[in-house]
Structure formats: structure tokens, C-alpha cells
Amino acid sequence: MRKFIFKVLVFSLPILIVSVAFELLIRNIPNDYSYKKEYLDENSEKIETLVLGSSHSFYGIDPRYFSNNTFNAGQISQSLNYDLEILKKYQGEFKSLKTIVLPISYFSFYSSLESGVESWRIKNYMIYYDLNSSESMLDYSEVLSNHVKVMIDKLVSHYGKGDKSIYCSNLGWGTNFKSENALDLLKSGEISAKRHTVLDRESEKVKAEFDKNKLHLKSIIKWSKERNVKVLVLTLPAFKSYREHLDGEQLKKTIDATESICSEFDNCIYNNLLNDTAFVASDYFDADHLSEIGAEKLSRQIDSTISWNNQ
Amino acid sequence: MLFNSIDFAIFLPIVFALYWFVLNKRIKDQNFLIVIASYVFYGWWDWKFLSLIVVSSILDFSIGLKLKKEENQVKRKTLLWTSIAVNLGFLGFFKYYNFFLDNFISAFSFFGADIGPSSLNIILPVGISFYTFQTLSYTIDVYKRKLEPISDFVGFSAFVSFFPQLVAGPIERATHLLPQFYKKRTFDYSKAVDGIRQILWGLFKKIVIADNCAEYANIIFNNSEVYSGSTLVLGAFLFTFQIYGDFSGYSDIAIGTSRLFGFDLKRNFAFPYFSRDIGEFWRRWHISLSTWFRDYLYIPLGGSRGGTLKKVRNTFLIFIVSGFWHGANWTFVAWGALNACYFLPLLLTNKNRNNIEIVAKGKVLPTLKDLMFILITFSLTVFAWIFFRAENIGHAFSYISTIFSSSLFEMPYLLEEGTGRHILPKTFLLLIGIFVLVEWIGREGEFALEKIGLKWKRVFRYFLYYSIILAIIWFGGKEQQFIYFQF
């Protein structure tokens, strides 16, 4: 028995050592999540406007154009449950917070980070945001939740080539979607709309997801009300190729639910900018994401809405 | 709990340590641990369905005890049929209720009658087909007085729920597995090492071969209308390796895990794709199920004795029932019937037992004749798997009709997501080739890796094992459930 265990341990040791080394080295690489967490740890007391949400707000709302102290805590595929988790994590520290900007997209009620193809990002919240909402052990380890090829690429890119690993500005805005690299708006609109459309809307699973997300939105607004914080709920502008391929029913249900929830609370305003004609083709990176040009336009618009509401 | 999960990687060493270091003094304690560990293993998926296993265990345990005391043949038969009815009742309800209801409604609507009842939202409990057959084997063997019933409920529960083979077999016979729960278990180093090697090979089959095949086969089968006949052949070929890698991989992990605890499970696969005829294939594929049906259905029906008509009837019956066991869909029935059609000519010409030994035993290469028969049998099997994998009978026929079109002679391709470019997973196909080669080299063992490398220097042997582990990590596809869980 001893011989068996000894041999198994000896055999496993190299694997264990390599795994631990990979885990430590990868964790040591700075990323958007670790940066945002660090920023919130140090500055949450000063933040007056907090932007939450998915890639739509991550790339579309640039805090530089806000007149007060603003931070973008949005992330690609960040669903409402994670918006709520972030608020809860820093609840005692948001002492200056006056407004939360929360985008609701076409897919917001129909999906969550857990249910989509981006679920691999959950580990970023568990490891770098120190959240512990996931029940899966895999989400607490880089090695266990990443494919080895991805890990090697990361290590080579950071330690070998010295590539940058943070893709957001110092105020949390996503800097990747530059207008000079804009994608084909017509093609990207159709593809994204299809990807965001849920086909089995009547299934029990999707209905439950919808209800859960509504509850998350309510909880965020309620949390804000208790702290005298206003919530500006927005549906961000999208190019017509995206809008035209959306499913009318899914969109209507999303808008109706958002309006209905916001109407329940006096600290909440809902602005649907989906069809806002002020945004033209040159404002977009792809059909449902703004470039830095569109982000400036939208951020200034939101800032004036906030200022007007605060008067 | 999945074998290819981190949960199991933690669970197994804990149970192993408790089993050999803490509770190693008494068999009863070890059996109790097996029951608890098995319930945790099963409950990890859904603890509510544990009640079915408990009910099955209590029922068959008590019926076994009553069968021992009861001498009246009518009463004994009633007891046996109670067990069969309850066990198959569970299976029928959870697995076949909606199928029968839907077909019943369709049949009535065909004649113009519109009837109301609608399908229930029934979840199929994982492994129900496996443990039901295992407990049934106990009751039937006790009834036939082939086995003495046991009076220890913990030992019996351990037999029913033994976690390595609980959810996807091998389906163990009470006569084979049950006595092992009452034998003093001593740790056997070579058996345990063998177990680890079998687990490693099973993981390779599942994670590298089956999961990657699944990715491509799913793309092709789910979009069969847009692909050429040659690509559909590739899809069927990949599914052939997916199902083998998946199921035999599971069996290898199950058998290997059992060895770590001092148990011997039945062999479930014996290199079926090297078979030279369908009779041989069925002696090498899912052996524990085939022999179960042979002993508890085919032979009681008369087997291959009697007239031609009886032989034909029994053959079709066993293959169709076996197909239906896999799932509530006409596709499985068609798959079973097709295999019966393949097998019947061999049976009627008394050639079904021509190939008993493994092909080219003691030789490096097969004869040309053997190779030809292997390829024919393999092709027939690939063709039959189309029915097994298809969504419905219509899908199977449209898939087959596309295969037999002029596009069969085009170069096979897959459409790359996003770009729509034509691609072919050449590296992976090469990997399948290497896999077949390793299986060929190791075909005289219980599993491919059993004898490979045993006489090599340690450094080379370790190199082989690390290469397999590296392949598992490197080629590890998306974590997929084991196919046979749904059965």
C-alpha cells in the first residue's frame, strides 16, 4: 500500500508542480478584473457615478466625459447577478455614490454569465474580485478552468513578449473597440442579433432565467433606493442592422419588463436609446457596440441626463 | 458526479483513504462506506432520485429473503413478478411513458380521434436502466436458486449502488459481484496499478477521443442538410469512435476504479471494432448487456433452438429490445432491427460463432481476408450507428440518402464557425489513427494499455504515461456527459 501511494505521489508530483506554477504565474498577470477590483478597493469611497453592465457599457460609456467622479465597472458578458454582487461587495464603501448607470440590453433578462459561452469568465470574479458565489470548484482556479493552450498563450504573451494585459482605461472603460478597426456593420448586426436571440423562450429554464434577472434588477434598484442612490437604466443605441434582426417579442418583453420594474421605484429612470438617431454608422465599432467616438457622444449625453436629474 | 470531473478527482482519494486506512478492519464497515460513497456519488447529480435506488434495494432485498423461505411455486412466481413489475415499472415510467403516450396519441389521431392527455415533464434518472437490470438479475437468480439470498442489507445496498458502475455499468450479475462484498479484501499492489492504468486509458478514450469526436459529429449530425455525402460519412465515422470512446472509456474507468477497492468487474468491451462479423461484434460490444439479454431473455425464449421461425423471432426480439433499452425513440428500435438483419444470416447458416478468438492472435498483422472482414463489419456498424445517433427516423433516412448521392465523392469538410471556411480536423483524424494503432497493439489484453510498456525501462514507461496525460490535457475537448448516462 505504501509503495502504491508513494509511486502515485511521485508520479503526480511533476504534474502538481507544473499546475501550481501555472496557477501562480497566470494569477500574477494583471487583467481588467484585477485592475477594477484594485481600483474599487482604493477609490470606492470617492465614486459618485458607477457604471455597471456588459460589453455594451464597458465599451460604450467612458467616464472621462462625466462631470463627476465616475468609474466603469462593466465587463464583457457581465450579467445582472454580477452587477448586484459587485454592489454588495462594496456596499459599505460607496459613501459618495449618487448614481448607478445600468444598461439593459436585448439579452439581459434572457441570459446570465453562467448560461452562456462566456461562462469561463466566472473564474475572474471568483479569483480577482474575491466573490464566492460560484458553487463549482473549477471557478476558483485558473488551471482548472482554462484550456492549457490558452494558459500557454497567456504566459508567452505576458512573460515572453511583454504584451499588455489590461484592456481598459484607468477609469474602467474598454479601450479595444477603436473606430479605425470597426467591423462590417451589416454582417456583425445580423450575427450578433442571432446570437442574442433566445429560441426556446417558452421553456421553463428560460422563463426561470427571465424571472431571476428581473429579480436581480429589482434588487439593484432597491439596494440603491435604500442608500438614496439614483439608478439610470439605459438600453444603449445599436445600429439598424442589429435592430432589424432582433426578435420583436423578445425585445418587447425586455423593454416592458424594464419599464414596469423602473416604474415601481421613484429613484429609477429608464431611457431606451436603442433607436436613437443621434448615433450614426461612424459611432459604432460593430452593430451593437460603440467605438470611442460613439462612447464619447453617449457618455456626454448620459452625463447631462444625470446632471439634469440631480438639479 | 462525472468521472472526468474535478469533483471525482477529489472524491476518489478521500473514499480510497477512508476505505483502506480507516475502515480496513471490518468488511461491514467497508461496505457501509461504499453505500455512503455511492449515494454521495449519485446524489451529486440529483439526490431526489436516490429514493428510487433505495426503494429498488429494499424491494429486491426483501423479495430475495422471502423467496428463500417460500416453497410454494405460485407464491414464488408472484414474488418474482412483483420485483419485475416494480423495477420495470420505474423504468417504464421514467424512460418510456412519454414515448408510449405520444405514439398512442399519434395512432389515435391517425384514425381521426383526438385525445387529450399530454406528455409529462419527466426527468430520466441517471443510470436507471443499469441498476434496474442489476437488481433484477439478483431476484431472478435467487428465484432460479442459482444464488443464495443475503440477509445483510448493507452489503446488498453496496451491490446495487456500487459507485464505479452505478450509472453506466458494466451491468454486474449478482452471482459475480455480490460474493465479492463478503470476501476479505486485501490491498493488491499490482491490481491497483493495473486499475490506475485502466483509468488512465479510459480517460484518454473519453476526453481525447470521444469528446473531440462529439464536437465534430454533433456539428455534422445537427446540420446534416448542408453537408455533402462524404462529410456525412465522416460524421458517422466520428460518431462510431465517439460512442466507443465514450462508453468503453467509462467502462475502463469503472473497472479500474473498482480494482482500487479490491473488486473485479466484468469486462464490457473487447475491441469490438476489430470484429470480423456481426456475431463477433456483439460478443465484444457492451458485453454485460448482451449477456444479460442472452441469459434472461434469449435463452428463456428458447434461444437458437427450435425451428427457423423461432430463431428469427428470438433474434429480432432480443435485438429490438436491446435497441429499445437504449432509449425511447424509434431510431433505437431501427438500430436494433438492423443489427438483427446483419446477425440473422450468420445464425441461420451456423456461422455466428466462427470468430471466437481475437483476430490475428499472436501475430502483428491480420491476414488480408481478416482485414477485409474487419472492414466490412466496421462499415456495417458505422451505417447502423446513423440510426442510433439520428434525431428521428426521418433524419436517419435523409442522412443516408445524402450519403448515397453524388456528393459522396467530394472532399469531406466542416464549416468553420464565423468564417464559413471549409476545414478538416486532420490532426484529430491522425490522433484517431494512433488510437486505433494502440488498440490494435494491445488487443490481446483486457484493455489496450494492459500490457503495453510493462517490460519497458521505467523512464520510457513514464514517458508513455505522461504523453497520455499530456494528450488528455492538450486535446481535452469540452467536458461532455457520458452518452450512456441518458440510457
How far is residue A103's CA from residue A56's CA, in Å, rounded to a whole number? 8
Provide the pLDDT confidence category of residue B100 given band limits of 50, 70 and 90: confident
For residue B12, being part of any structural domain is answered with yes
How far is residue B249's CA from residue B441's CA, in Å, rounded to a whole number? 17
- Domain of residue A278, residue span: 2-310
pLDDT at B356 over 80: yes
**Grid coordinates of B384:** 447502423
Residue that terminates a domain, selected from B167, B186, B205: B186
Quick one: B154 and B235 in the same domain? no
Task: Determine which of B4, B5, B6 to mutate to test the interface with A (most A C-beta atoms within 10 Å).
Answer: B6
Q: Which amino acid is at B414?
A: L
Residue that terminates a domain, selected from B158, B186, B214: B186
pLDDT at B307 over 60: yes
Q: Do A1 and B20 touch (CB under 8 A)?
A: yes
Quick one: B230 and B94 in the same domain? no
**Grid coordinates of B4:** 472526468
Q: What is the pLDDT of residue B119?
A: 59
Provide the pLDDT confidence category of residue A145 given band limits of 50, 70 and 90: confident
pLDDT at B93 over 60: yes
What's chain A's average pLDDT?
93
How far is residue B231's CA from residue B239's CA, in Å, rounded to a whole number? 12
Q: What is the pLDDT of residue B454?
A: 87
How many domains does the structure of chain B reveal?
2
Residues of chain A contacting residue B476, judged by C-beta atoms under 8 Å apart: 147-148
How far is residue B182's CA from residue B174's CA, in Å, rounded to a whole number? 12
Q: Determine contact: B187 vs chain A, CB below 8 A.
A: yes
Beta bridge partners of A49: A70, A99
**DSSP SS3 for A25:** helix
pLDDT at B117 over 80: no
> Span A9-25, mean pLDDT?
94
Q: Determine contact: B20 vs chain A, CB below 8 A.
A: yes
Q: What is the pLDDT of residue B149?
A: 93
Q: Indicate the residue of B189, B196, B465 with minimum beta-carbon distance to A3.
A: B189
> Span B336-359, mean pLDDT?
91
Provide the pLDDT confidence category of residue A302 given band limits of 50, 70 and 90: very high
A164-187 pLDDT tens trace: 899 999 999 999 899 998 888 988
Q: Determine contact: B469 vs chain A, CB below 8 A.
A: yes
Q: Do A14 and B466 touch (CB under 8 A)?
A: yes
Provide the pLDDT confidence category of residue B198 given band limits of 50, 70 and 90: very high
Provide the pLDDT confidence category of residue B125 given band limits of 50, 70 and 90: confident
Quick one: B167 and B201 in the same domain? no
- The CATH number of the domain holding residue A63 is 3.40.50.1110
Q: What is the pLDDT of residue B2?
A: 83
Please report the residues numbered 27 through 46 in chain B whose beta carbons come closer than 8 angstroms to any beta carbon of chain A: none
Q: What is the pLDDT of residue A224?
A: 96
State the smallest CA–CA distance between residue A301 and chain B in angstroms: 34
State the smallest CA–CA distance between residue A47 and chain B in angstroms: 40
pLDDT at B163 over 60: yes
For residue B320, being part of any structural domain is answered with no
Please report the residues numbered 403 through 432 in chain B whose beta carbons come closer than 8 angstroms to any beta carbon of chain A: 418
Q: Indicate the residue of B6, B187, B474 with minimum beta-carbon distance to A137.
A: B6
Q: Which residue of A has its CA nearest to B13?
A: A5
pLDDT at B222 over 60: yes
Q: What is the pLDDT of residue B375?
A: 97
Q: Determine contact: B472 vs chain A, CB below 8 A.
A: no
Quick one: B83 and B229 in the same domain? no
Report which secondary-structure segment, H or E, holds A70: strand A70-72
Provide the pLDDT confidence category of residue B424 given band limits of 50, 70 and 90: confident
State the smallest CA–CA distance between residue A240 and chain B in angstroms: 21
Report which secondary-structure segment, H or E, holds B331: helix B330-348
For residue B14, being part of any structural domain is answered with yes
Greatest Cα-to-Cα distance within chain A, rounded to the nearest angstrom? 77
Q: Indicate the residue of B6, B192, B418 with minimum beta-carbon distance to A138.
A: B6
Quick one: B178 and B207 in the same domain? no
Q: What is the pLDDT of residue A200?
A: 80
Provide the pLDDT confidence category of residue B114 given band limits of 50, 70 and 90: low
Beta strands across the sheet bearing A49-51: A70-72, A49-51, A99-103, A230-235, A268-272
B234-245 pLDDT tens trace: 999 999 999 999
Quick one: B90 and B149 in the same domain? yes
Highest mean pLDDT among A113-117, B331-335, B455-459: B331-335
Residue that terminates a domain, selected from B159, B186, B213: B186
Angle at B234 between CA B233 and CA B240, to 5 degrees: 90
The pairing of strands A268-272 and A284-286 is unpaired
Between B417 and A141, the higher pLDDT residue: A141
B366-400 pLDDT tens trace: 999 999 999 999 999 999 999 999 999 999 999 99
Q: What is the pLDDT of residue B3?
A: 85
Q: What is the pLDDT of residue B487?
A: 53
A70-127 pLDDT tens trace: 999 999 999 999 999 999 999 889 999 999 999 999 999 998 998 878 888 999 999 9
Provide the pLDDT confidence category of residue B118 given band limits of 50, 70 and 90: low
Quick one: B160 and B56 in the same domain? yes
Quick one: B248 and B393 in the same domain? yes
User: Phi and psi dihedrals of B53, rounded to 5?
Assistant: -65, -40
User: Phi and psi dihedrals of B422, rounded to 5?
Assistant: -80, 125
**DSSP SS3 for A310:** helix
For residue B339, being part of any structural domain is answered with no
Q: Do B187 and A4 touch (CB under 8 A)?
A: yes
Q: Which residue of B has its CA nearest to A192?
A: B418
Sequence-distant (6+) residues with CB within 8 A of A68 are A48, A49, A98, A306
Q: What is the pLDDT of residue B275?
A: 96
For residue B55, being part of any structural domain is answered with yes
B395 belongs to the catalytic site: no
% of chain B exceeding 90 in pLDDT: 67
State the smallest CA–CA distance between residue A44 and chain B in angstroms: 36
B425-451 pLDDT tens trace: 888 899 999 999 999 999 999 999 998
Nearest Cα residue to A168 out of A55, A294, A26? A55
Q: Do A144 and B465 touch (CB under 8 A)?
A: no
Q: Indicate the residue of A4, A137, A148 with minimum beta-carbon distance to B473.
A: A148
- Measured from the Cβ of residue B69, the count of other Cβ atoms closer than 10 Å reads 9
- Domain of residue B233, residue span: 191-276+355-486
% of chain B exceeding 70 in pLDDT: 94
What's chain B's average pLDDT?
90
Q: Do A147 and B476 touch (CB under 8 A)?
A: yes
Task: Determine which of B473, B474, B475, B479 to mutate to test the interface with A (most A C-beta atoms within 10 Å).
Answer: B473
Q: Do A15 and B469 touch (CB under 8 A)?
A: yes
Angle at B46 between CA B261 and CA B248, to 5 degrees: 50
> Span B409-417, mean pLDDT?
81
Task: Determine which of A4, A117, A148 to mutate to test the interface with B (most B C-beta atoms within 10 Å).
Answer: A4
Q: What is the pLDDT of residue A227?
A: 93
How many domains does the structure of chain A reveal?
1
Report which secondary-structure segment, H or E, holds B57: helix B50-69
Only one residue has cell 474602467, namely: A172
Provide the pLDDT confidence category of residue B99 given band limits of 50, 70 and 90: confident
B183-187 long-range Cβ contacts below 8 angstroms, 24+ apart: B183/B27, B184/B27, B185/B27, B185/B30, B185/B261, B185/B262, B186/B262, B187/A1, B187/A4, B187/B20, B187/B262
Q: Indicate the residue of B6, B193, B465 with minimum beta-carbon distance to A144.
A: B6
